[in-house]
Amino acid sequence: MPTAEQLFHNLLGDTHQGRLIDKLGNFATENFGEQGLKFFNTLTVAQVLYQLYEARHQKKDAARALLGKITTDKIKEFCKKEKNPEKQKEFAAQQIAIYQLALSRF
């Protein structure tokens, strides 16, 4: 995980670390009134948006792993049955193209 992404995860994504955001927001609200409340609301929105972003990436990574396993298994199974190397290459290229197309739609 890149450094900036790790920082965002620690501050906005991880709910345990996210309590730091709550404390900061409470401090700002208590000491800076209306402006502090606006700041706190902005932090809360940023936290929710980042958690949605993170959840989407987790689903995408899981789908990528599952599709990769299925594609690999299909290619291996085909290569066990088919002994012609040209047909093996053609089938593998076709399956990889389908895999890449499926990933591009996420």
Q: Is the pLDDT at 27 greater than 80, yes or no?
A: yes
How far apart CA 105 and CA 20 sit, in angstroms, is 36
Q: What are phi and psi of 14, to 5 degrees?
A: -75, 120
Q: Tell me which of 93 and 7 has the higher pLDDT.
A: 93
CA distances from 34 to 30, 45, 52, 67 (A): 9, 17, 27, 50
User: Among positive and negative, which fits the CA dihedral 10, 15, 16, 18?
Assistant: positive
Q: What is the average pLDDT score of the chain? A: 85
CA angle 52, 99, 2 (to 5 degrees): 40
Q: Is the pLDDT at 98 greater than 80, yes or no?
A: yes
How far apart CA 90 and CA 24 sit, in angstroms, is 58
Q: Is the pLDDT at 48 greater than 90, yes or no?
A: no
> What confidence category does residue 78 fall into, taking pLDDT thresholds of 50, 70 and 90?
very high
How far apart CA 47 and CA 54 sit, in angstroms, is 10
Residue 79: predicted pLDDT: 94
Model pTM score: 0.60
